[in-house]
């Protein structure tokens, strides 16, 4: 497909989770399924760092669940949480380093009617305003785990870079690492999970 040419190169992900999280804002996440194409602009992300980060799934070492984070950058890490929802991460840094960026919110673009059908809600701002919501809206399931984000059905493409104002904030409720700004979002977006 032509998407391979359009999508972000793998070296985009070969940097720190903080750099990648910041640069992912304004990019376009596209998922092609047999039902149709859904896409949205990334408006909120969160970084998960290697072993210094207690909140990271990989903080205690490599497991069957988080092995993807130890793999090559530019791949997707999808996990099931709280019995009902999935969360989508983009693996970054380098192979052997468990770093990833959580995609927290999207601004819907293509396939909005399909998202509304999947989510069973009408309001566009409610379609992707959260990690679990956007996965449901884009139809991201366990099958999308460990996919190559530079090619294939699930890709991230460049968007309106430089035209957005980025806000960095510490994550809430986590003491260790609170001195670092690990949550990023686009100022003024109505589609983020938190104001």
Partner DNA sequence: GACCAGATTGTCT
Partner DNA sequence: GACAATCTGGTCA
> For binding to DNA (CB under 7 A), which residues are involved?
46, 48, 55-58, 60-61, 63-66, 69, 77, 79-85, 87, 89, 100, 102, 119, 121, 126, 130-133, 193
Nearer to DNA, 6 or 171 (CB): 171
Using CA atoms in the order 86, 141, 31, 193, what is the torsion angle rounded to 10 degrees? Answer: -10
CB of 182 to DNA, least distance (A): 11
How, if at all, do strands 28-33 and 166-169 pair? unpaired
Nearer to DNA, 75 or 119 (CB): 119
- In sequence order, which ranges of 7-163 are alpha helices (DSSP H)? 17-24, 112-119, 131-138
CB of 113 to DNA, least distance (A): 17
CB of 91 to DNA, least distance (A): 10
CB of 143 to DNA, least distance (A): 13
DSSP state of 120: T
Nearer to DNA, 85 or 177 (CB): 85
Q: Are 182 and 18 in contact (CB under 8 A)?
A: yes
DSSP state of 35: T
């Amino acid at each position: 497909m032509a998407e391979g040419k359009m999508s972000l190169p793998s070296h985009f992900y070969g940097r720190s989770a903080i750099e990648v999280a910041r640069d992912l804002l304004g990019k376009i996440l596209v998922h092609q399924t047999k039902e149709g194409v859904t896409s949205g602009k990334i408006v909120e992300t969160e970084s998960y760092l290697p072993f210094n980060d207690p909140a990271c799934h990989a903080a205690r070492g490599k497991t069957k669940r988080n092995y993807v984070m130890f793999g090559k950058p530019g791949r997707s890490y999808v996990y099931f949480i709280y019995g009902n929802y999935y969360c989508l991460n983009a693996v970054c840094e380098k192979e052997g380093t468990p770093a990833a960026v959580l995609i927290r919110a999207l601004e819907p673009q293509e396939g909005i009617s399909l998202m509304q059908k999947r989510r069973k809600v009408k309001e566009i701002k409610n379609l992707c305003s959260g990690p679990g919501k956007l996965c449901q809206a884009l139809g991201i399931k366990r099958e999308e785990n460990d996919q190559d984000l530079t090619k294939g059905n699930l890709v991230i493409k460049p968007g309106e870079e430089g035209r957005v104002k980025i806000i960095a904030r510490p994550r809430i409720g986590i003491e260790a690492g609170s001195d670092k700004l690990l949550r990023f979002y686009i100022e003024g977006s109505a589609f983020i999970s938190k104001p």
